[in-house]
Every structure is written in structure tokens, then in C-alpha cells.
Amino acid sequence: MLDGAFPTHVRSRIIQHTEKALAGVNLRGLSHFRLVAGTIGNAARAMGGASLPLLANFTQDREVLFKDNA
């Protein structure tokens, strides 16, 4: 997930360029992933940073961040 305090069109270009760069990287041995645009905006950094200690200390399943909800 890619989000932050920048305009939507900038976020879209960052995702586009990152996907292009990843196309040339050897990802063998890594789980499949996709980049998605976030919707939180300028609060993304604070909310993401605040959630890590909560997840680390209060969740029973520490792998919850890495699960596929599909």
C-alpha cells in the first residue's frame, strides 16, 4: 500500500513507476504482492506508525499484517 501527503495523481505516478521498477527485480522466493493506492492521505504515516506497536503487543496473531484477505 502506498499512501501519503501528496496529490492523487502523484501517488498514481509513484505506483506506476514502482511497478515498472519491480518488473526488473528478481522476486523469486518472495510471496506475490501488488501495490495499491491508499485512501488515508496525509495521516497515513502517523496511523501506520501508531498501529505497529498495537499489533505487536496486543494481537494474538503477529502475522496478521501479512495475510491475504482475498
Q: What is the pLDDT of residues 8-29, one digit of tens each?
A: 899 999 999 999 999 999 989 8
50-68 pLDDT, tens digit each: 888 887 788 777 666 666 6
Q: How far is Cα 50 from Cα 54, in angstroms, rounded to an integer?
A: 7
> Please, which residues have CB within 8 angstroms of residue 21's CB and are 6 or more apart in sequence?
none
Which pTM was predicted?
0.61
